[in-house]
Structure 1
Amino acid sequence: MAEITLARVDDRLVHGQVMQVWTKGHGTNAAYVIDDATAADEFMKEIYESTQSTGGLAIKVFSSDSIVDEWNKNQFGDDNVALIFKSIAYAKKAVDGGVPIKELNVGGIAIKPGTTKVIESVGLSKDDAELCKALDAAGVKVYFQKIPSSENVSLSAALAKMG
C-alpha cells in the first residue's frame, strides 16, 4: 500500500516549492494533482503528466471524484505520493471519500477580496474556514505554511486572524 507523504492545498498546483522543497526526504515518488478543470482538459492533463520534475517525481492528474476512485481501487498502488489539491473543497471531498489524510498543509490560495490573509501566501474565505473546521473535526490536522522553513500557523491561529 502507498504512503501519502504530503497533502497540500496550493492553487498553483505544481511548482518548485512543491516539487523540490516539500517532497525532499520523504521517499516521495509521485505527485498527484487534484483539480477538476485540469483533469477535464486533455491538453493540460497531458502537459502535466508528460512532465517529470527534476526530482524524478511522476505526475498524475485526477478529478476530485477520480482521486477517491483511485484510492478505493488500489490505495495508490506502490506510490509514495504527494497529493496537491487545487482547493480545500477538493481535499475535504477526498477525506469524505475515505482517502486517509492525517495532515493538510494549506500553502497557496490567492489573496483576493473576501479573504483574510492568514499567511503570506494564503487568503482564507469564510467558506474555506468552515471546510477547514470540518476537516479538523474529522481528525485531519490542518495547518498553514508556505515552505518548510517558514512559520507553521495552526488552524486556530488562522481562524483567530479572521476575527
Structure 2
Amino acid sequence: MAGPNILLTRIDNRLVHGQVGVTWVGSLGANLLLVANDAAATDPIQQNLMDMVVAEGVQTRYFTLQKTIDVIHKAASHQKILLVCKTPQDVLILIKGGVPVSAVNVGNMHFAEGKRQIHKTVSVDDADVDAFRELAARHVICEIRRVPDESGELISKLL
C-alpha cells in the first residue's frame, strides 16, 4: 500500500490563515488540511477560527502530534493532504514517528525574545536551528516560501 498523499508539509506558527487555508490549498489542489499541533487539537475555539479561512470543500483535521503519527498511514488515497505544524521540532517529532516527510515549506516563524531573524518572515533560536540541522541530516529539504508563486530559499543557507 502506498503511503499517505502528503502534498506539502508547512511550518507556520500561525497554523491556518488565509495564505494556508486558501492560497496554498488552492495551488496544491489539497482537499484535506491536517493541523498537527497538541494545543490546537484540544482548542475548539481556535479550530473554529481557523476553519473560517479554509476554502470551501476542504476538510480540516486537528490532531495531536501523536495522533498524527498513529493515523496518518490510514489516510485514504483520495485524500490530498496539506500538513501544517507550528515548529521545526514538531516536524521532527512526526518524522521520527514515521510520518513520511521529504520536504518542508517554512512559511512563518515569528520573532520573539531569544530568536534571531534570518529572513523577512522567519526567526529562529538555538532549538530551531538544531531541529533544522537534524532535518537536513535526515535529507529533508527545508525551504522558506511564503506563497506558492514565490521562489523558495533553502533555510540551510541562512543558518
Q: Is the shorter-chain TM-score for this pair beyond 0.5, marking a shared fold?
A: yes
TM-score norm. by structure 1 comes to: 0.86
- 1:141 maps to a residue whose letter is I
TM-score norm. by structure 2 comes to: 0.88
Gaps of 5+ in 2: none
Question: For the residues of structure 1 that align with 2:135 and 2:69, how far apart are their CA atoms?
Answer: 16
1:32-83 CA-partner distances (Å, limit 9, x unpaired)? 01111111224434x26865723421111011111001124x1x22311000
Tell me the percent identity. Answer: 26
Aligned-residue offset at 1:93: 0.6
- Alpha-carbon spacing, 1:112–1:43, altered in 2? closer, same or farther (3 Å): closer
- Alpha-carbon spacing, 1:114–1:26, altered in 2? closer, same or farther (3 Å): same
- Alpha-carbon spacing, 1:136–1:51, altered in 2? closer, same or farther (3 Å): same
Structure-2 residue corresponding to 1:23: 25
- Alpha-carbon spacing, 1:32–1:48, altered in 2? closer, same or farther (3 Å): farther
Gaps of 5+ in 1: none
Question: For the residues of structure 1 that align with 2:51 and 2:60, how far apart are their CA atoms?
Answer: 8
Q: Equivalent residue of 1:12, what SS?
A: coil
> In 1, are the aligned partners of 2:104 and 2:141 still within 8 Å (CA)?
yes
Structure-1 residue corresponding to 2:90: 90
Structure-2 residue corresponding to 1:57: 58
- Write out the 4+ residue segments of structure 1 that deviate beyond 4 Å after TM superposition: 48-52
Question: For the residues of structure 2 that align with 1:116 and 1:158, how far apart are their CA atoms?
Answer: 11
Aligned pairs, how many? 156
